[in-house]
Amino acid sequence: MPDALLTDRQTWMATLAKAPPARLAALLPDPPTHMVLRQPEIGAVMVRGRVGATGAAFNLGEMTVTRASVRLATGEVGHAWVQGRDKGHALRAAAVDALMQTDRAADLAAQVLQPLASAAASARAGRAAKAAGTKVDFFTMVRGEDK
């Protein structure tokens, strides 16, 4: 999905899902008091691919996922679906999702989401730069008939 078509909520939920659990815990050491609507549940998502990259869908295999839902004292409901089996990760991500619907959204974006997003972007850029370092620069040898 092109970035421009993503809603803000899709963007922050993706950032939270992909964040390393330890990093999120460090940025949000004390989640706000909340009621757990759905206890963290570990399960699997069947990942699909496409035949020939563009064709019919096929089942590639599963991945582990943890989901959770919380409600803040002020009533906002937050959901999380995160890769892996870390229940604390799912609860924290759900709490941030709920908080982002409150007037604390700007603070949270600056304190939690921004650092996560920029760490992910720099990790990605670092790998891309290493990949680019292995790009082949072809040059043609002088051929016999040119002499």
CB of 19 to another protein, least distance (A): 10
In the bound state with another protein, the residue whose beta carbon lies nearer, of 88 and 147, is 88
Separation of alpha carbons 146 and 117, rounded Å? 54
Q: How far is the CB of 3 from another protein (least distance, A)?
A: 7
Which of 33, 140 has the CB closer to another protein?
140
CB of 30 to another protein, least distance (A): 25
Question: What residues make contact with another protein under the rule CB under 8 A?
Answer: 1-3, 7, 9-10, 13-14, 17-18, 41-65, 67, 69, 79, 81-85, 124, 126-136, 138
The CB-of-146 to another protein minimum distance in angstroms stands at 19
Please identify, using beta-carbon distances, which residue of 49 and 111 lies nearer to another protein.
49
Amino acid at residue number 110: A
Single-letter amino acid, residue 41: E
Q: Is the CB of 51 or the CB of 73 nearer to another protein? A: 51
Smallest distance, Å, CB 46 to another protein? 4
Reference 91, options 146, 42, 48; nearest CA is: 42
Tokens read off for 43: 């399960």
Cβ density class 57-84: b for 16+ within 10 Å, e for less: eeeeeeeebbbbbbebeeebebbbbbee
Q: Which CB sits closer to another protein, 143 or 147? A: 143
- Residue with structure tokens 């997003």? 117
Cα dihedral value 22, 82, 34, 96, nearest 10? 70
